[in-house]
Amino acid sequence: MANDFLFAEEPDELPPTHHGSWKVLIVDDEPEVHAVTKLALSDFSFQGKNLEFISAYSGAEAKKMIEAHPDAAIMLLDVVMETDDAGLLVARYIREELHNHYVRIILRTGQPGQAPERQVIVNYDINDYKSKTELTAQKLFTVVMSSLRSYRDILSIDASRQGLEKIITASADLFSAHSMEQFIDGVLQQLTSILGCNDNALLVTSSLVAGNVHENQDPDQLVVFAGLGEFEHKEGQAVSSVLDPILMDAFHQALHSRSIVYRDNYLVAYCTSKFTHGSLLYVSGLPNLVNDNQKRLIELFSQNVQIAYENVQLQHEIEDTQREIVYRLSEAVEQRSIETGNHVKRVAFICYDLAKAYGLPDTEAEKLMFASPLHDVGKVGIPDGILNKPMKLQEHEWEVMKTHSSIGYEILKNSKRAIIQAGAIIARDHHEKWDGSGYPAGKSAEDIHIYGRIAAMADVYDALRHRRCYKSPWTPEAALAHIISESGKQFEPALVEILKSRVDKIEAILQKYPDED
């Protein structure tokens, strides 16, 4: 079989500097074919990577090899082995069962008449089809080179597709921390694809973005914001703990020069904008020297990463400001009733814990937590003489006190902000009772909004456990016993059961945020 190959002599070349290898599967039942193929391609190099040969001597063995090496770039596949169509069955298995559309399959046959070229290429997604008699060393070199270029381009297109998918997914909710990481990772995939980087075990591609870099700040204090490749799952760790000294030196240089530092096969870019001093971006696995067009792309990307990051920071600042205003307003109301301390904060965290245990989604539980401090905001409309009366209220005074639910609802109801809207619901419903005997509307059971049902229980439990102008604090046992006694009356039975099972966690919240003396 080896005599079928006619190899022309080629000039000697200096061995290239290699950075990894391309996997080539040789599938043929003739050992001589394996030997001659390896000899002909022994000095082959493409993009600084040589060839790694993997041999299989039958169709069955080829299936096992491609399963074990799904990252193979090329398969040189004999058609006739243990059966006349063994190679074709392997090609079908790769494409239709393994769904591997990356590996380039080059059919080699000593009997081309048995499998018409057009039919085979169309039906089995064959990259090339050659008779063994026509494969000289030069032609083998050419077909392997063209196949590797196709394989490289397919990987590049797929990386771009994956990056675009991440960006589209993240754009639906860009202003959340998780989506921001998705956004940066996705854009990074586009960048590394354009630069010709390849994210695998040999050529690692990664990003490192760390915000809030101030003038003269030591880069050792930065933390990983998002990462790919070897830096994946390193988010939140200090840069100094994940980078070796040589890379740290490059980070120092990029930060102090406020520029992009290119070294060997990686770069460190200083990202800046008009709002902050900047952050740092690290990309490795560059296969060649970066040209001017690629440098301009990197500069643009660096600027956009910082702007996107700052937009998220600004959004978080707005949300934090809104939440703080809610807390401050609620605490002001509590001060009027001579109830100093952390009541509204405790109620907020108890609400979140109960909501999660009840099965509310994270977004709903968080909304309830941030809105619950507004439950008694209507007390601003209650006279001090009634609000702070240290004895039982007379009937007409009690009727005035009960209006605080409606007052709070009226104050908040027209807001367009989700947290304030939730606060309006809580203010309105947190004095309704499961059996319909509450106020202001006499709602019952599930007609009472779940926000109101949860906030009512959290408010009552915390109020029982702490001193008020009209009572001393109750013990945990007494407070829990009261809650249980009101199951099906004031409180939803399912929520009572949840509180019973989580009373230790709720008591921990009370211990963490005690009232001030």
Question: 2-153 and 173-313 share one CATH topology?
Answer: no
3-state DSSP call for residue 282?
A: strand
Q: Of the ranges 63-67, 106-110, 309-313, 458-462, which one carries the lowest mean pLDDT score?
A: 309-313
Supply 173's token pair.
């909710």
Q: In sequence order, which ranges of 12-85 are alpha helices (DSSP H)?
A: 31-40, 59-68
Greatest alpha-carbon span in the chain: 112
Percent of the chain with pLDDT over 90: 39
Stretch (H or E) spanning 163? helix 137-171
Cis amide leading into 440 (omega within 30)? yes
The pLDDT, as a whole number, for residue 296 is 73
210 near 227, Cβ under 8 Å? no
Say which CATH topology domain 2-153 has. Rossmann fold (3.40.50)
The pLDDT, as a whole number, for residue 191 is 65
The pLDDT, as a whole number, for residue 117 is 63
> Quick one: average pLDDT of 24-28?
95
User: In this structure, is the dihedral angle defined by the CA atoms of residues 150, 155, 158 and 164, taken in order, positive or negative?
Assistant: negative
What residues act catalytically? 379
Question: Domain segments of the chain: what residues?
Answer: 2-153, 173-313, 337-512
107 near 137, Cβ under 8 Å? no
Alpha-carbon separation of residue 402 from 314, 382, 386, 405, 440 (angstroms): 40, 9, 11, 6, 7
Has domain 173-313 been given CATH number 3.30.450.40?
yes
The pLDDT, as a whole number, for residue 469 is 67
373 near 324, Cβ under 8 Å? no
Q: Rg of the Cα trace of the chain?
A: 35
Residue among 250, 248, 254 nearest 279 (CA): 254
CA atoms within 13 A on the CB side of 338: 13
Report if pTM > 0.85. no
CA atoms within 13 A on the CB side of 91: 26
Residue among 491, 464, 441 nearest 425 (CA): 441
Q: Which CATH class is domain 337-512?
A: mainly alpha
For residues 161 and 286, which has the higher predicted lDDT (pLDDT)?
A: 161
The pLDDT, as a whole number, for residue 293 is 66
Q: Is the pLDDT of residue 418 over 60?
A: yes
Encode pLDDT of 250-291 as tens digits. Answer: 878 877 787 778 877 777 777 665 545 456 666 666 666 676
Q: Of how many residues is the chain composed? A: 517
For all residues of the chain together, what is the average pLDDT?
79
Rounded CA-CA distance 33/14 in Å is 26
Beta strands in 178-278 (DSSP E): 260-263, 266-271
Question: What's at 505, amino acid-wise?
Answer: K
476 near 507, Cβ under 8 Å? yes
